[in-house]
Amino acid sequence: MIAAAVPRQRAPDAKLLTVDGRGRLHHLPRRQAMDVLQPGDLVIANDAATMPASLVGRHVVSGRRIEVRLAGRDSLDVAAVRSFVAVLFGLGDFRMRTEDRPPPPAVAPGDRLALGPLLATVIERVHNHPRLVRLEFDGQPAAIWEGIARHGRPVQYSHVPQPLALWDTWTPIAGPPVAFEPPSAGFVLDWHLLAEMRSKGVHFATLTHAAGLSSTGDESLDQRLPFDEPYRIPERTAAAVRDARLDGRRIVAIGTTVVRALEHAAARDGFVRAGDGLATGRIGPSTELRVVDAILSGTHERGSSHFELLRAFIDDETLARMEGELETYAYRTHEFGDSIFVERSSVERYSPITASARRTRRHEEHEAVVC
């Protein structure tokens, strides 16, 4: 695979590699993404807009330059904007490979950071790591949001050499600005595709998930990715999931964040309820998927948390064949790259359910959700 170096969300030559439930691989132009969907499918996308989560400033105690990349928060509550988990960097910027960036100045709880118009206090080291901290901003939420909006820039990596504008990172359905990096699988969406879904009987719904960092430049921290990420599932989406499952229709996630939110929401008893949650832990080969039947995502390198998530959908032999095809046909990776569509190998599609049994199951699921 090669790194996508141009920030074009819907390049006309974008490619799509599909892996069906039997492990068969096919190549398509990505503009034919509708071909992988079936009437009755429920497609769910992340409507989070990307916030300018990179803040450059100075470590007050030492006077040295520091970059703060916001990487996590406990909830999507607007008032929770005061407190963030953040990854710290020293000199340099996005033009330098993340893993080559020098370390930040040593920080300790109580240290102050001056970040443009904002002041923040280091509350604690997270996991006792010198570069991963929890910090708290001074001021009221409105002033903090304004400071982030005015001073911050999108988190960016060296494979894209030109500075990104914030709107480069927003999907066409972007809503609340809560993502630290773009939920870039959603770049495949456009209004034409959404209209085509509707006309062909494919259902569409959204949730909001605070997509986190894809890399920290530190191997020990990268092994902890993804960090805990808050999400919100609307009642309409929860109801659509319940109906699709009862009817035996596929649930298709646009991106890994959607998988993470839905599977975390269903972890307790298999039911997806509306409301807020905090996704924790990794999805990987030992995860039993309870909700999502297929994923449309970007391409990802082996070893990344995104790649590990795919191991919950298909076995390693099929995944290796998929990797080989991506390499052979020079698929582009990273957020502006090409796409894959992977169907869970154990998916049971359209299993026959009698009308009476369906009504009974619908009543039981409704009762479980209410209780």
Q: pLDDT tens digit string along 129-151?
A: 999 999 999 999 999 999 999 99
Residue 104: cis peptide before it, omega within 30 degrees of 0: no
Q: State the CATH number of the domain containing residue 332.
A: 3.40.1780.10
Same domain, 195 and 256: yes
Question: CA 69: distance to chain centroid?
Answer: 16
Same domain, 239 and 136: no
**Residue 365: its pLDDT value, please?**
53
Same domain, 270 and 169: yes
Same domain, 130 and 176: no
Please say whether the beta carbons of 177 and 154 come within 8 A.
no
Please say whether the beta carbons of 42 and 203 come within 8 A.
yes
Same domain, 58 and 39: no
Same domain, 67 and 196: no
Q: Which domain holds residue 360?
A: 5-9+12-50+163-364
Same domain, 45 and 59: no
3-state secondary structure of 145: helix
Could you say which DSSP state residue 328 is in?
H
Of 123, 151, 179, the domain-final residue = 151
Same domain, 248 and 135: no
How does residue 353 score in pLDDT terms, banded at 50, 70 and 90? Answer: very low
**Which tokens hold the place of 326?**
């991506």
- Number of domain units in the chain: 2
107: in domain: yes
Which pTM was predicted?
A: 0.92
**Which tokens hold the place of 350?**
């359209």
**Residue 81: its pLDDT value, please?**
80
**Is a pLDDT exceeding 70 seen at residue 225?**
yes
**Residue 346: its pLDDT value, please?**
63
345: in domain: yes
Other CB atoms closer than 10 Å to residue 336's CB: what's the count? Answer: 25
Of 90, 117, 151, the domain-final residue = 151
Report the phi/psi class of residue 274: left, alpha or beta, with left for phi > 0 and alpha for psi in -120 to 50.
beta
Same domain, 39 and 95: no
Provide the angle, in degrees to the nearest 10, between the axes of the packed helices 235-247 and 355-370. 150
141: in domain: yes
Average pLDDT of the residues in 101-119? 97
In sequence order, what are the residues at sequence separation of 6 or more whose Cβ sits closer than 8 angstroms to the Cβ of residue 127?
Answer: 224
Q: State the CATH number of the domain containing residue 101.
A: 2.40.10
Same domain, 77 and 183: no
Q: Which residues of 282-306 are buried (b: 16+ CB within 10 A; e: fewer)?
A: ebeeebebebbbbbbbbbbeeebbb
For tokens 């807020």, name the residue: 276
109: in domain: yes
Average pLDDT of the residues in 318-329? 97
369: in domain: no
Summarize pLDDT for 276-299 with one digit per residue, the tens. 999 998 999 999 999 999 999 999
**Residue 358: its pLDDT value, please?**
47
129: in domain: yes
Same domain, 176 and 31: yes
Instruction: Give the separation between CA 241 and CA 250, rounded to whole angstroms.
Output: 10
158: in domain: no
| C-alpha to C-alpha distances, 266 to 86, 233, 247, 282, 369, nearest whole angstrom | 28, 12, 18, 15, 11
Of 151, 178, 213, the domain-final residue = 151
Same domain, 300 and 346: yes
250: in domain: yes
| Percentage of the chain lying above the pLDDT 90 cut | 89
How does residue 350 score in pLDDT terms, banded at 50, 70 and 90? Answer: very low
Tell me what the pLDDT averaged over the chain comes to. 92
The values of phi and psi at residue 108, to 5°, are -135, 155
